[in-house]
Homo-oligomer: A and B are copies of this chain.
Amino acid sequence: MASNSFGDIFRFTSFGESHGRALGVVIDGCPAGISLDEDDFVPELQRRRPGQSSVTTSRNEADSPELLAGTFEGVTTGMPIALIVRNENQRSGDYESLRGTHRPGHADATYAGKYGHRDHRGGGRSSGRETVARVMAGVVARRILPQATRVLAHAKVIGPHEATEYLPETIEQNVVRCADPSAAALMEEHILALKAAGDSVGGLVEILVTDPPPYLGDPVFRKLKSRLADAVMSVGAVTGFSYGRGFETARLQGLDYVSDSANFGGLSGGISSGETIRLQASIKPTTSVADVARRGRHDPCIVPRVIPVLEAMVACTLADALLMQRALSG
């Protein structure tokens, strides 16, 4: 229900097509009294934006947010916060040839089957451009979380290259958003070579939440782990979600596993324990490859751009769980 909304109390609704007039978001359930300005959205929109580097598409999106509602004199009022970002530079002619075409690995065929009538230009709602709404919601969500809490993601694996160091301050210093500068260089080189060949590559993103509030999530169906899975898997290119030791647990033994609480990834009984939450998301290679890749404007590796989106979704999930926790622990 309400398939374009996310969250229970802190709930946002995303709208807009990649080649329509505007993208936007309405955020309902944000407490009053939080300082918030139009400019606060610019940095995250910049981080999400393509055209920033050699490894992302050259589509030039200005992405100026317009704050339509929900604040008064720079402070939230408890009323719904609405933001839009106008689409510019559409060049939708690029996509005219796709009207009857269903690209493999895209939503094209399923949308066509499900809805009959669809906006074929640039993926419509299935476009990565929809994530503009998520990133804006994430900005608000972070303001609800305690100041000490940080949600930070980085590229752990891209193709054959894996980060072995974790230097968080270097993440934004390289185009792949990797916390290991040497691995970052190899990753970038790898992506550029694939791009030249009309190919693409996947990756693995690790998301860390340091100093999270404890006791977020509920025991059975709103476990924090399942809500985070829902949040992370809702992002287009994500093919897998895990926490703590994740898929390695398939081969672990219990005595080993319980010997180090870091294995639990900050979640006990599915609820946050207060320790660092450690999540992983696997990302598929961009499916716009070969001729399609050459004609359109597509990233050969979506990992760097998906990172701010994953952070936003995790922040929204935590903010919502925090408000629910307040409701039931009066």
Contact = CB atoms under 8 A, between A and B. Distances in A.
Interface of A: 1-6, 8-9, 11, 13-17, 20-24, 26, 28-29, 31-33, 66-70, 72, 75-82, 84, 104-111, 113-119, 124-126, 130, 157-160, 194, 198-204, 214-215, 218-223, 225-234, 236, 238-258, 261, 264-265, 268-273, 280, 282-290, 293, 300, 323-330
Contacts of A198: 255
A2 B222 CA distance: 8
Contact of A117 (B33, B107, B109, B201): B33
A225 B215 contact: no
A279 to B, nearest CB: 10
Contact of A227 (B68, B219, B230, B232): B230
Most chain B CB within 10 A, of A113, A248, A257, A273, is at A257
A324 B9 CA distance: 8
Copy number in the complex reads: 4
B289 A258 contact: yes
A287 B11 CA distance: 33
A4 B32 contact: no
A22 B29 CA distance: 19
A32 B250 CA distance: 35
From DSSP, what is the main secondary structure of chain A's interface residues?
A: mixed
A272 B126 CA distance: 14
Given A1-B11, A130-B220, 16 more contacts: A1-B8, A3-B220, A5-B28, A23-B69, A77-B115, A77-B117, A107-B268, A199-B255, A201-B251, A202-B253, A239-B243, A250-B282, A255-B289, A323-B328, A326-B330, A327-B327
Given A75-B117, A119-B77, A258-B287, A68 B220 contact: no
Contacts of A15: 26, 68-70, 79-82
Contacts of A330: 31, 323, 326
A313 B242 CA distance: 18
A219 B131 CA distance: 12
Given A202-B249, A243-B240, A287 B17 contact: no
Given A202-B251, A233-B226, A258-B287, A69 B239 contact: no
